[in-house]
Amino acid sequence: MIVRLPSEVKSKIRPAYQAGWPGLIEAYRAYLPVTDSTPVVTLHEGNTPLIPLESIAQQIGRGVRVYAKFDGLNPTGSFKDRGMTMAISKAKEAGAQAVVCASTGNTSAAAAAYARRAGMRAFVIIPDGYVALGKLAQALMYGAEVIAIEDNFDVCMEIVRALSERYPVTLVNSVNPYRLEGQKTAAFEVVDELGDAPDWLFIPVGNAGNISAYWMGFCQYRQYGRCDRLPRMMGFQAAGSAPLLNNCPVAEPQTVATAIRIGNPANWERAIAVRDASQGAFDAVTDEDILHAYRLLGAEGVFCEPASATSVAGLLKVQARVPDEATVVCVLTGNGLKDPQSAIDHSKATLKKGITPNLESVAAALGF
Amino acid sequence: MIVRLPSEVKSKIRPAYQAGWPGLIEAYRAYLPVTDSTPVVTLHEGNTPLIPLESIAQQIGRGVRVYAKFDGLNPTGSFKDRGMTMAISKAKEAGAQAVVCASTGNTSAAAAAYARRAGMRAFVIIPDGYVALGKLAQALMYGAEVIAIEDNFDVCMEIVRALSERYPVTLVNSVNPYRLEGQKTAAFEVVDELGDAPDWLFIPVGNAGNISAYWMGFCQYRQYGRCDRLPRMMGFQAAGSAPLLNNCPVAEPQTVATAIRIGNPANWERAIAVRDASQGAFDAVTDEDILHAYRLLGAEGVFCEPASATSVAGLLKVQARVPDEATVVCVLTGNGLKDPQSAIDHSKATLKKGITPNLESVAAALGF
């Protein structure tokens, strides 16, 4: 038997929020270079959580509000999905049958997922002898065709560029102009949720594409009256991989934050312009700082990639400069599940083995 | 310089959807056993994508519409977060300082994340010699205290029950009544997005909690006039771990779908009642069927746990019975990143090594 309620009761129990998010192209269509004839290739990416980091805010004190924009909850586990829904939709609109990228990490996963969903072939070119097959698990599962060549990553990049010029294959590495267009929507979401831009935005910087994309997004939203202010853009690099900070490319970058281990960023000049226009800064944090922030985030229930924790490490480093009652957003770019070994290697959690199987022993082991 | 637009232009460029989801307790507060004094412990779980599976729908034909409810995009990577936000919020309301569970998988990750976020200790009891440390990476990263005892899983369960009775520790295994309350919100989301319940719902069945929770959700929504129909509930088990189908516990369940490798489901009777009330069915699929569905999902850009693919394998098995133009939802319970080794072992993607580093060789390897 169905109980039918009078309508005044029903309206009371209407949910406060209605589920359903169509993906960022449909949500922000008016702000993106798409038309009604663009075939939208989507996995309903975007609308990722803006999670209050209360214990970190408490540690800083002075009424500072701290949020994590957790882009690791995108469909393939990183912010790359934002750019890839745009790049693949535009490639499909142009009639592409295949895409190519040189990447061993998050880009290859996103490229493979969206290209295969669009019915295209996905080619991933990597250096041979690259042993961490686990990092390729996603690309393989989405059905990419992976080619390992007997040379280094720079040569991979040369080959994918040449391939895209000579064969019917669209290049979806960061030189693809639609990627940043998609990525800028993360800034829109932050504003939509907070009601305005934050005062400060902390973000990991590797290739420097994402800091540029966020800035594009905030500026566009302000231009169209959706926010009143613009944030100070605080770009953080790992100390062993800090070309922007040192104003010099790094030949052999070293850091535990592999996703930002880039010695010569593609968006170098753009990033400098963002820093200056926003009255922001670039700075670096040590691997130790990064791993400390990684664990602090874990204790707040947020499991990100080590590289993502660079933003929070940056905030902690310069916290004294953040004004009272400022609103701060730290960008977390990737899901911690991408790199379980780092969690095992760097957590400081308790693991006690060989406990006798009875209540008393277990209770004692727990300190009761 | 800020360009200020006239208001009629501004209203045109209002986004079609506004980002921001407060987590399932705030969204569905009126439907959940919480009060204004319940401290809400949330990572903004829920509102997971309902992704059209177009190539699978095309394969079935006859106008059947197929969607995946991808709960692997919850904060800790599985549907367990839905139950855990409720269980931990209620534990905190009751003044708990610590929670305990016996689990080596998704439950321990969710319990650890929410408990730590709430400022509680999180105890995870596992059998010793359980070697797959990778599965514990999340719990460790969130800061759980893991105790390995020298006995099997059943003894772990006995000990956690006894612990929760004798010490100030709340048990958050599936016997916790608030877990299903949280999990039922997935059904609300499906209805909110489709405008009504689907005709058929396919769902993996291990402990049989989730099928019970979905049914609770659909029934509650129909009672309150939010949907007009109820779905046929189709519960699928793995052939080597199918106690419900065979009407007999399985002593040593075997399947590649580890998340549903359960020989004696806790919610056995409840699940039978759901099947009968919904005019649904239980059935089993082989590991081969599961891995085939796992790869099909990958090719649609969706990377789930092998166990999750059981729902799609089930749909493919009984597709002839699904009526023309029916709307079908397949529940995907966990993120594929939880188990990258399965992707590497079971993908059939191409990986070509040792290719000479020049354009011609790479083009030839790609078939150009």
Q: Please indicate, yes or no, whether residues B134 and B151 belong to a single structural domain of this protein.
A: yes
Alpha-carbon gap, residue A314 to A208, rounded angstroms:
16
> What mean pLDDT is predicted for residues A280-298?
98
How many CA atoms within 13 Å lie on the side-chain side of A241? 27
Q: Please indicate, yes or no, whether residues B128 and B41 belong to a single structural domain of this protein.
A: no
Residue B20 is assigned to a structural domain of this protein: no
Report the predicted TM-score, pTM, of the whole model to 2 decimal places: 0.95
Domain tally, chain A: 2
Q: Please indicate, yes or no, whether residues B98 and B226 belong to a single structural domain of this protein.
A: no
The partner residue sitting opposite B49, judged by closest CB among A44, A341, A362, is A44
Cβ–Cβ contact A217 with B under 8 A:
no
- Tell me which chain A residues have a C-beta less than 8 angstroms from the C-beta of B123: 366
Q: Look at B353 and A49 and tell me if their CB atoms are within 8 Å.
A: no
Question: Is the predicted pLDDT of residue A135 greater than 90, yes or no?
Answer: no
Residue B204 is assigned to a structural domain of this protein: yes
- Over residues A26-71, the pLDDT tens digits come to 999 999 999 999 999 999 999 999 999 999 999 999 999 999 999 9
- Of A140, A347, A135, A138, nearest to A261 by C-alpha is A135
| Crossing angle for the helix pair A106-117 and A80-93, to the nearest 10 degrees | 40
Domain of residue A89, residue span: 80-175
At A6 the pLDDT is 60
DSSP SS3 for B130: coil
> What mean pLDDT is predicted for residues A107-129?
95
Q: Please indicate, yes or no, whether residues A111 and A169 belong to a single structural domain of this protein.
A: yes
Highest mean pLDDT among A164-178, A274-288, B241-255: A274-288
Residue B142 is assigned to a structural domain of this protein: yes
DSSP SS3 for B1: coil
Alpha-carbon gap, residue B278 to A352, rounded angstroms:
46
At A139 the pLDDT is 95
Residue B209 is assigned to a structural domain of this protein: yes
Q: Please indicate, yes or no, whether residues A69 and A113 belong to a single structural domain of this protein.
A: no
- Tell me which chain A residues have a C-beta less than 8 angstroms from the C-beta of B28: 15-16
Q: Which of B129, B144, B175 is the last residue in one of the domains? A: B175
Alpha-carbon gap, residue A98 to A116, rounded angstroms:
9
At A5 the pLDDT is 59
Residue B5 is assigned to a structural domain of this protein: no
Q: Specify the residue for token string 């102009």.
A: A177
Q: Please indicate, yes or no, whether residues A183 and A327 belong to a single structural domain of this protein.
A: yes
Contacts of A29 (CB under 8 A, 6+ apart): B16
Q: Please indicate, yes or no, whether residues A121 and A69 belong to a single structural domain of this protein.
A: no
Q: Which residues of B295-329 are buried (b: 16+ CB within 10 A; e: fewer)?
A: bbbbbbbbbbbbbbbbbbbbbbbebeebeeebbbb
- Over residues A7-18, the pLDDT tens digits come to 656 656 788 888
Q: Please indicate, yes or no, whether residues B84 and B73 belong to a single structural domain of this protein.
A: no
Q: Which of A126, A146, A175 is the last residue in one of the domains? A: A175
A183 contacts A210 by C-beta, under 8 angstroms: yes
Residue A275 is assigned to a structural domain of this protein: yes
Q: What is the pLDDT along chain B (368 residues), one digit of tens a residue?
A: 455 556 656 656 788 888 899 999 999 999 999 999 999 999 999 999 999 999 999 999 999 999 999 999 999 999 999 999 999 999 999 999 999 999 878 999 999 999 999 999 999 999 887 656 677 899 999 999 999 999 888 899 999 999 999 999 999 998 899 999 999 999 999 999 999 999 999 999 999 999 999 999 999 999 999 999 999 999 999 999 999 999 999 999 999 999 999 999 989 999 999 999 999 999 999 999 999 999 999 999 999 999 999 999 999 999 999 999 999 999 999 999 999 989 999 999 888 999 999 999 999 999 98
Q: Specify the residue for token string 């290049």.
A: A171
State the virtual CA torsion across B121, B126, B128, B129 in degrees, nearest 10: -120
A202 contacts A64 by C-beta, under 8 angstroms: no
Residue A14 is assigned to a structural domain of this protein: no
Q: Please indicate, yes or no, whether residues A169 and A193 belong to a single structural domain of this protein.
A: no
Alpha-carbon gap, residue B259 to B336, rounded angstroms:
12
Q: Look at B13 and A30 and tell me if their CB atoms are within 8 Å.
A: yes
Q: Please indicate, yes or no, whether residues A200 and A156 belong to a single structural domain of this protein.
A: no
Q: Which of A153, A175, A197 is the last residue in one of the domains? A: A175
B259 contacts B333 by C-beta, under 8 angstroms: yes
Q: Please indicate, yes or no, whether residues A108 and A202 belong to a single structural domain of this protein.
A: no
Token couple for B287: 């590991």
Q: Please indicate, yes or no, whether residues A40 and A158 belong to a single structural domain of this protein.
A: no
How many CA atoms within 13 Å lie on the side-chain side of A156? 22
Residue of A nearest to B2 (CA): A223
Cβ–Cβ contact A27 with B under 8 A:
yes
Kindly state the helix (H) or strand (E) to which residue B223 belongs, with its residue range.
Answer: helix B209-223
Residue A357 is assigned to a structural domain of this protein: no
- Residue B267 marked ligand-binding: no
Residue of A nearest to B168 (CA): A368
Kindly state the helix (H) or strand (E) to which residue B170 belongs, with its residue range.
Answer: strand B170-171
- Of B209, B354, B237, B40, nearest to A16 by C-alpha is B40
CATH of the domain at B98: 3.40.50.1100
Within 251-310 of B, beta carbons closer than 8 Å to A belong to 294-295, 298-303
